[in-house]
Structure formats: structure tokens, C-alpha cells
Amino acid sequence: MTASAPHGPVVARTPGELRSALAGAGRVGLVPTMGALHGGHRSLVRLAREHADTVVVSVFVNPLQFGPDEDYGRYPRDLDADVRVLAEEKADVVFAPATETMYPAPQMVTVDAGTMGERLEGASRPGHFTGVLTVVAKLFHLVRPDLAVFGEKDAQQIALVRRMVADLDLPVEIVGAPLQRDADGLASSSRNGYLSEAERTSALSLPRALQAGREAAPGGADAVRAAARKVLDEAADATPPVQLDYLALVDPATFEEAPADHTGTAVLAVAARVGTTRLIDNTSVPL
């Protein structure tokens, strides 16, 4: 097992430093993040610790997954604060490369997310999942982990990572970590810090809509969608309003819309904007 420094994890900024830090590492678990770490990220690190001898957390704000009108420039960055969090969680290595380290030249070859990557988040954010899968593939090659932990809040993302691993025969076990919520029920997210008090109150309609959908599950897929949409329609008239991007009940393996007669587990997913902040949330629904 890689020994953490007395006051925290080893911080590696280059592939060479990363290789040195992982010498004799044993079973390696990777937690890919973009920093701005919160309680949800802590849960990922703890889960990785259960499965691995050495836990590596990457902190990299990946430009490839941001669109031209998205929040790449203002995305919170505070590596010192992140390292303090990871010291508390006893992570062993922090891989924090500069953008020019990960992309020393324009990225000409990328990982295509296919039709699954064009649905929901992919439809709202064209090219997003190509950027995600490309950086995840690069991290897998650099860290060479035995397993990688991803949060289930990003349900479509983890489904696509699993599909990439299967389709490309990558020797990495993908472990899903349950979605974490703040005390008021809002899904934990680095972007929650953008919300004003009034905006946060409006944003709580997202978890309420998901709960309403779950409670309507005995009535079938259409009842689930109708119950959730009713909550969000009311939230559209709130102050400030919730501007719905999408609400969908989908097959968890393909993210295709679940038909009215769907049986088994489905994912009820929502994305909405409150003020200038875009939020996502989801829940599993047994049908």
C-alpha cells in the first residue's frame, strides 16, 4: 500500500510523479473528480477504501466535457481545500494534472459515446459524454486502476463508463456509489454553491418530483411520469422558477424511454435550471 504523507496524501502533478507515487501500490482504486469536493465525494473515497489497498483521487476540471456556454471558467477550483478533505478521508494519492499535462496538443482522437450518449444529458449538452469518456479513458491508462468508483447521481455517465469498459475490454471494475443528498434533500453537487437561498428552496422541487414519481410506481410508467411532472409544473410558477430541461423515465441499461408497460427497474431522471445553475437528479423506480 502506498503510504500517505504524514499530513496528507501524496500530490502528483505529472504522469512520472504518479508512477513514482504508485510504486508497490497493490490493488488500486481510482476516484475521478473535478474537485470542489463535498460529502458525496467523501462517500466515493470511503467506498474505494473498502475495495482497494491504495486510493487515488484525480482532481481535474476537464475542458472537453464543457460546452461553449457552460461554466468551465467559473467552475470552483481550490486544490488546497480538496487535499485537506482527502487527507481527512485518508486518500493515498491525489493526481492533479494541469490542462496542458492532460492535453499537451489538441485532442484529435476521442472516445465516441454513441447513440446512448446523445440522449438526455447528451441531447442537452452535445459532445459532453465524448469529453467525459475521453478523459476517463486517459485516466484509466495513466493510473491503471483495478477499480474505479463513480457516483450514481450521474446515472447516465456511469452507465456509459460501464459500457465503454465492456465494449473496449478495459481491465477496470466499475463500482457505483449511492447518490448522496444534503440535509434538505437536494442531491449533493459542487454546483449547489451557486444557488441563492431562494433558488435552493425552488430547487428542492427536483427531489420532491422524484419522490412523487416513486410513490406513483404501482400505477405504472405513465403514472410515474405524470406524478413527477405535476410537481415540476407547479415549480415552474415558483419564485424563482424552475426551468425544466428534461424529465424522463428510462431503461437503466440503454437510457431509452421506458414504455408504458415497462417492468423491472427504471431510472427517473430530471435536469432543470434554477437561476443560472443547472442541476440534475435521479432515482431508481421499481415497476
Binding-site sequence positions: 34-41, 65, 151-154, 157, 188-191
d(Cα 13, Cα 4) in Å, to the nearest integer? 16
Q: Give the torsion through C-alpha atoms of 246, 249, 254, 259, to 10 deg.
A: -120
Helices (H), 125-263: 128-143, 155-167, 197-203, 205-215, 221-235
Element (H, E) at 243: strand 242-250
Active site residues: 41
Maximal CA-CA distance, the chain: 58
Task: Provide CB contacts within 8 A for 152, sequence distance 6+.
Answer: 158, 176, 177, 178, 179, 282
127 burial type by CB count under 10 A (0-12 exposed, 13-18 middle, 19+ buried) = middle
Give the type of residue at 29: G
Annotated binding residues for ATP: 34-41, 151-154, 188-191
Annotated binding residues for beta-alanine: 65
